[in-house]
Amino acid sequence: MTSPRTLIEKTSLPTRRALIQGSAALAVAGLGAPSIARAADPIAIGSLTPNTGGGGPFGPNIAASHRRVVELVNGMGGVLGRPIMLFQEDSETNPEPSARAATKLINVNKVMAILGTWSSSVTLGIMPMCQERDIIQMCTSSSSDIPLRDAKRLVFNFQALSPVWGKAIAELCVQRGFKTYAIMALNNDFTKSMVDSFVAVVGKAAVVEEPFNYNGGQSSYRAEVEKLIARKPAAVFIPSYVQDFTAIYKEIFRAGYEGQVITSSLSTGPQFVQAVGKAADGIIHGFPVPPIGSPVYKEYLAEAGLKDTGQVQHPFGTAGRDQMSVLLLAIEKAGTLEAAKVGAAIHAVTTGPGKTSVTNVVDGLKALRAGKEINFNGASSSVEFDAQNQLKSRAFQLAQIKDGADTVIARLEETT
Amino acid sequence: MIGQLILNGFINAALLAPPAVAFTILFGILKFPNFAIGAYVTVGAFAAFAVNVQLGLPIWVAVVGAMAAGAAVAWLSDALVFKPLRGHAPVTLLVVSIAVAFILEQCVRLFYGGNVRGFDLALERPMRLWGLRITKEQLEILVISAVITLLVHLLLTYTAVGKAMRATADNPGLAEVRGIPHRRIAVFTWLLCGAIFGLSGFLAGLDLVIEPHIGWNLTIPIFAAAILGGIGSAGGALLGAILVGIAEELTVLVLPTTYKVAVGFLIITILLLFRPHGLFGQAEIKK
């Protein structure tokens, strides 16, 4: 019998452990090839995750979640009586290699959906070819342009849009009483609308320096930091990714700035703290978070082999689990791979009251096969979509780094 | 603010000068622009991290480790890749060097992933001198960079091995006829330049953040500095680094900050159009 793992193809992996696992999978796949050929025609699904680049800290978790769900479902005989064939690629958090990877997934692997894109520029970058070929996309991207450009309503976003981030962070900052701000943001789709919504809440008068963008991957950020702190703002807001933010923050600290540094939580984390040491203390950061403490979040921690620390772990790995679960449940519900019908089924299995609540793909498939209507509640959120396929709500958390660890200072439940 | 920007420009230059000097020396021997220099810098940064953080050894040992790793990787890349391809067109070797850069970067990623890292050194607040800010770390970068550049200049100008390196770069055939051991000089040059790239990796890790792209992010400014100074001129590379460093900083006074990354490309373009041999390089005479 073919092992579920034999139906997973990984072409680019970031870590030694992952490479070893991949090699093992390939070896097993080689042994099991004749079985694959005899099996029912597999359903091809693409996973395009940011294993390297700005999303590097998160991509491997998303990819691992996709694999786990596929292995579970293949262990149950797949969906519609067909096994799932998962093709995994690294987006490099970069639209250009992502476009190449998506072309391969669509034209060579014939996938019916591409899951796991993280950076907005990647999600938007592959959107035209996905729309042209009726490929469903599932992402955790925050650019406001995503619903605007999704003409066929085939993109399902498991993340709050960035205006929600900017608004939530700004509201929590206003509560803390900062009077003046300066803002510099990484030059990409994700940060633009976040800055606009941040300014709308704190007020233009409070922004003492015209917000400006910078490019990532520079050999120095000194000039930008000089500009940022020139007017001595009480707080600086820097939407960014961890690679550039770490270099920028070192420069801010070395420039002697004593005000409050605020960023998104994508820019911090244990590796950031290791890189800058005790200087990290005091930074405020916020982002949408999974429902920590909920049974389904604990379910995810167990699946991923993590201990419950009461802190946010794998913020995007949870979304990866939800993406693959929702897609496979929707395929089972739709009874077809036709994109429009699967899209409608995604709403049917996630949204709306009066249905049987399920928190994992196994229970969901059993319920569907028993003829029940289901509402999937995820480990990343309640996964309720609006008409534009955006999440209706997500929890949002503002934390401050103290003694190298995150201390939650404010939490907004179900921010919309 | 202008004074601070110019001082910042000198700190940028201190990061660019040693690798720009090494790049220009290496070009003299190889006769093609080696795009793998950024990867050598990355290897140096991660080697220093391994010694300092993973092995818990003092920072000066990390410097030695970075230089040793840089030298070893540079020499190996020559022995395994460039030497067998000697005699091929420069453009072929250039493309191969890009491949070497990717391979080395992916090797680093295989062991360390894509996460950010830093040395086991506390960040420090700045000292203030005449209204300008500078940290002890930045002063050390300036001093180390100046000493290394000076030592390389002295080596090339006043020592037998330096003169042999220059002779080999000028005309390897003629140098061999005159009894200069061309192959041994080439190996020494690779080791020396690799050690400088490794050291640059350590300095970059100190100033920026250790991650697999750290060397790649420095590659274009290093090229710009070397081309501006004039390929083959160590002193020119130093001056080129200072000009590029200051130009990048002052750009933000007149242009949006997003245009800053274009400064290196702009300098390369202008130089190639109007003075292809750079400010101090010698125009090649073709017969």
CA–CA dist A160, A380 (Å, integer): 11
The average confidence (pLDDT) of chain B is 89
Is residue B29 a contact partner of residue B169, using CB atoms and an 8 Å limit?
yes
Q: Which of A220, A221, A251 to mutate to test the interface with B (most CBs of B within 10 A)?
A: A220
Query: Is B261's CB within 8 Å of A212's CB?
Result: no
> Per CATH, the architecture of A162-288+394-415 is what?
3-Layer(aba) Sandwich (3.40)
**Which residue from B1, B116, B249 is facing A230, i.e. has the nearest CB?**
B1
Q: Give the pLDDT score at A26.
A: 41
The helix/strand/coil state of B79 is helix
Give 3-state DSSP helix, strand, coil % of chain B, rounded to 5. 75, 5, 20
Q: Mean pLDDT, consecutive 10-residue segments, chain A of 416 residues? A: 50 46 43 46 96 86 97 95 96 92 96 96 96 97 92 95 89 90 91 90 93 90 93 95 93 95 91 92 92 91 91 90 98 96 97 92 96 95 93 88 90 65
Lowest mean pLDDT among A124-128, B16-20, B280-284: B280-284
With a threshold of 0.85, tell me whether the complex ipTM lies above it. yes
Report the amino acid identity of residue B141: I
pLDDT digit string (tens) for B184-213? 888 999 999 999 999 999 999 999 999 999
Q: At what angle do helices B90-112 and B59-77 cross, to 10 degrees?
A: 140
Q: Is the dihedral of CA A373, A379, A382, A384 positive or negative?
A: negative
Tokens found for residue A384? 């309720």
Is residue B16 a contact partner of residue A219, using CB atoms and an 8 Å limit?
yes
The helix/strand/coil state of B243 is helix
Query: Is B257's CB within 8 Å of A184's CB?
Result: yes
**Which residue from A214, A242, A256 is facing B257, i.e. has the nearest CB?**
A214
The answer on pLDDT for B44 being more than 80 is: yes
The answer on pLDDT for B61 being more than 90 is: yes
> A219 touching B, CB under 8 A?
yes
> A271 touching B, CB under 8 A?
yes
**Sequence-separated (6 or more) residues with CB below 8 Å from residue A36:** A2, A6, A7, A29, A42
Query: Is B118's CB within 8 Å of A274's CB?
Result: yes
The 3-class SS string of chain A reads: CCCHHHHEEECCCCCHHHHHHHHHHHHHHHHHHHHHHHCCCCEEEEEEECCCHHHCCCHHHHHHHHHHHHHHHHHCCCECCECEEEEEEECCCCHHHHHHHHHHHHHCCCCCEEEEECCHHHHHHHHHHHHHCCCEEEECCCCCHHHHHCCCCCEEECCCCHHHHHHHHHHHHHHCCCCCEEEEEECCHHHHHHHHHHHHHHCHHHEEEEEEEECCCCCCCHHHHHHHHCCCCCEEEECCCHHHHHHHHHHHHHCCCCCEEEEEHHHCCHHHHHHHHHHHCCCEEEEEECCCCCHHHHHHHHHCCCCCCCCCCCCCHHHHHHHHHHHHHHHHHHCCCCHHHHHHHHHHHHCCCCCEEECCHHHHHHHHHCCCCEEECCCCCCCCECCCCCECCEEEEEEEEECCEEEEEEEEEEEC
Q: Give the pLDDT score at A217.
A: 86
Q: Which chain B residues are within 8 Å of A243, Cβ to Cβ?
A: 116, 209, 211, 213
Q: How many Å lie between the alpha carbon of B273 and the closest alpha carbon of chain A? A: 25
Q: Give the pLDDT score at A186.
A: 94
Q: Give the pLDDT score at B282.
A: 64
Q: Give the pLDDT score at A414.
A: 58
Alpha carbon distances (Å) from A271 to A275, A280, B247: 6, 11, 32
Q: Please give the domain boundaries of chain B with CATH numbers for all domains.
A: 2-122+134-274 (1.10.3470)
> A34 touching B, CB under 8 A?
no
The answer on pLDDT for B101 being more than 70 is: yes
Query: Is A220's CB within 8 Å of B248's CB?
Result: yes
With cut-offs at 50, 70 and 90, classify the pLDDT of residue B285: low
**Which residue from A56, A227, A271 is facing B257, i.e. has the nearest CB?**
A227
The answer on pLDDT for B67 being more than 70 is: yes
CA–CA dist A83, A67 (Å, integer): 13
> B84 touching A, CB under 8 A?
no
Residues 104-133 of chain B with CB under 8 A from chain A are 109-111, 113-118, 120-126, 128, 133
With cut-offs at 50, 70 and 90, classify the pLDDT of residue B28: confident
CA–CA dist A379, A309 (Å, integer): 16
Give the max Cα distance, chain A. 70
Is residue B135 a contact partner of residue A254, using CB atoms and an 8 Å limit?
yes
Query: Is A56's CB within 8 Å of B115's CB?
Result: yes
* Closest CA in chain A for residue B8: A222
> B287 touching A, CB under 8 A?
no
